[in-house]
Structures are given as structure tokens and as C-alpha cells.
Amino acid sequence: MRTRLLRAATVLGLVAAAIPLSALLSSPAGATTFNVTSAANDGPNSLRQALADAATNPGDDVIDIQAGLGTITVTSELNWSGNGMVTINGNGATLSGPGVARGLVDDGGNGFTVNGLTITGFGGSIDNDAAPIVEEGGPITLNSCTITGNAIVTTGEDVAGGVLSEGGPVTITDCTITGNSATTPDGDAGGGVLSEGGQVILATSTVSGNTASTSFGDAGGGVLSEGGPVTVRPSTINCNVATTTAPDGGDGAGAILSEGDDITINGSTVVGNAATAVGASANALLAPGNAINGTGNTISDDTSSCAAPPTPPPLTPTATPVVAPARFTG
């Protein structure tokens, strides 16, 4: 009996090793999978085509981007409205959208999950809710993602430099959200994350160097929640900036602003954030009328660590230059 069990365990182990980790952990049961093997903006086997196919397919869907595909550059937003949740397995790919103010947009509000994807280079201006990731009501889950270098402007709606949720919960794990900006003259602004009602959970992630600005609404440099609680487990939230200005700017917080519920933060670093606001303001954490709870945190307004490192001095040439032999890796 023991020998049979060991053999069975060995076979199961070999089978599991042959299955991609994304398939084991990230694929909803019974979901249909659409493969992305083209980095083109559109056309057969592209991400845009896969999202369109998923939108017309009943039930939940998985979009699997081929490992090693590289950078997918889009020229307009990737918008879908289906009848089930969508999971996008990035497998290390990069999604870029120069001049595009809205990236992945779930207009149907069914919710989606993004795993292992870098989102960068989105920008431009639009008169609509805007962010590299926009969810119009459903849950958003991000795992092992990087959202960096996006500059988003809207002329009259809510805006986020990273993730915008218009009502559903947001869960972010093992992600980096850095160097993004969000600007609006008439709406709420979140430099990294903006939730307009759902809970925000941030775990083992970094949110740093983001900026948010509005003249008619609230601003959170790192995270802004307009309704649900914010929960942070060991994470780094550093060097974010929030600004609200006249005529009708609201509250502002450099790191986290929670307008409708508590902030619970444990084991995290919150350093070098800054805020200037027409309404209530705090450089680090602000939860007007609600509680801020937690232990084991390092919280400081010291911005010295936020300065860009000095430019290294030029290398001094040697009398006899040495040319290294060519090296090939593969």
C-alpha cells in the first residue's frame, strides 16, 4: 500500500510540474481560455481580439498571454463588457499605451484579475473616468504586477495613475505601483489607487512616487478610498504627493486617504509622503471621522529619501583601454 501511494504521489507531482503555475492558481473552474500569441495592437491572436472573444463567450474566461511575448503596445483602450469575470495571465509581458488615457477597461462591471503583467506608458487626456486599469463596478484583483510610468489626465471625471474602481473591492498583492500621476479639474484623484466605494486591500506591495491632483474633489497620493475600508499588510508606501486646489478642492493625504471607513495598517513603511489641500490634509494617513489602526509601522514625513540619487561622476579613462571579450548568454 505504501509503495502504491508513493508511486501515485510521484505521478501527481510530475503532472503538476508540467502544468503552468498560472493554470494551477489563476484559472477559475470551468472558464474558457483564450491564448494571446501576437503583440500586435489588434488582429488575430492579439490581446484585443482575446478580450473581444471573451466578452461574447458566456461565463468566466481566462486570457493567457504567451510567455516571452514581450511588449504589447496599444493605440486605444482595451474595452470589454461581457457576462463573466476575466482573468488575464500576463506571464511577464508588458502592456503599453502611449497617448491612451484608459487601458484595461471593464465596462460591464463583472470584475477581473490580472496576474504577472507590467503596465506602463499610458497617458493623454480624456473626458471620462481614466486610469491604466478601470473597473466599472466589479472586483479587481492584481497579483505580481507592476504599474509604472503612467501619466493620466481627465478633463472632468475620476482619475487614477494606476487602478480605478468605481464601486467594487480592490485587492493588490505582491505588486509595485510607482511613478504614476493622476490629474483632474473635476473629480477624485488617486496617484496609485482610487476606489469609489469598495474595500481596498494592499498586501506585500510597494506604492511609491505617485502624484494626485484635483481642484474639485479629494486626492490620495498613494491610495484614495471614497467609501470602503483600507487594509494594508506589510507594504511600502513612500514619497507620494497629493494636492487639492481652489476653487473646490477637498481633502488630501500623501499616502492614504480614506473618506468613508477605517484605515488598518500593520508592519508597513510610510515615509516621505506629502499633501497640500483646501480641506483636511495629512502627509501620511488621513481618515476623517474614522479610525486609523495598526502596529509595527514606520511612519515619517521625512522626504530626504525621496530625492533622486546624485548623478554618478564620469568614469576616468585609463591609459590603456581594456576591451572585454564578447560574452554570449542564452
Tell me, what's the pLDDT at 308? Answer: 64
Cell representation of residue 294? 495598526
Place of cell 500576463: 90
Could you write out the three-class secondary structure of 23-82?
Answer: HHHCCCCCCEEEEECCCCCCCCCCHHHHHHHHHHCCCCEEEEECCCCCEEECCCCEEECC
Of 123, 244, 225, 134, which is closest to residue 185 (Cα–Cα)? 244
Strand-strand pairing, 281-282 and 86-89: unpaired
The span from the CA of 76 to the CA of 159, in Å, is 17
Cell representation of residue 31? 472558464
Chain centre to alpha carbon of residue 48: 19
pTM (2 d.p.):
0.86
Percent of the chain with pLDDT over 70: 84
Residue 111's region, left for phi above 0, alpha for psi from -120 to 50, else beta, is left
Cell representation of residue 163? 487602478
Place of cell 505504501: 2
Each residue of 70-83: pLDDT tens digit?
Answer: 999 999 999 999 88
Residue 245 in contact with residue 278, Cβ under 8 Å? yes
The span from the CA of 236 to the CA of 39, in Å, is 33
Residue 38 in contact with residue 44, Cβ under 8 Å? yes
Of 66, 111, 110, 74, which is closest to residue 92 (Cα–Cα)? 66
The span from the CA of 132 to the CA of 122, in Å, is 6
Percent of the chain with pLDDT over 90: 81
Each residue of 208-264: pLDDT tens digit?
Answer: 999 999 999 999 999 999 999 999 999 999 999 999 999 999 999 999 999 989 999
Q: How many CB atoms lie within 10 A of CB 53?
A: 15
Q: How many CB atoms lie within 10 A of CB 35?
A: 13
Residue 224 in contact with residue 254, Cβ under 8 Å? no
| DSSP secondary structure, 242-309, as one string | EEE-TTT---EESSEEESSS-EEE-S-EEES-EEE-SS-EESSEE-TTS-EE-SS-EEE---GGGSPP
Tell me, what's the pLDDT at 314? Answer: 53
| DSSP secondary structure, 97-145, as one string | -TT-SEEEEETT---EEEES-EEE--EEEESS-BEEEEESSS-EEEES-
**Mean pLDDT, residues 82-100:** 96
**Mean pLDDT, residues 190-198:** 96
Tell me, what's the pLDDT at 19? Answer: 40
Q: Give the DSSP letter of residue 6.
A: H
pLDDT band, very low/low/confident/very high, at 325 (cuts 50, 70, 90):
very low
Using alpha carbons, list the distances in angstroms from residue 260 to 226, 228, 273: 6, 6, 21
Chain centre to alpha carbon of residue 120: 10
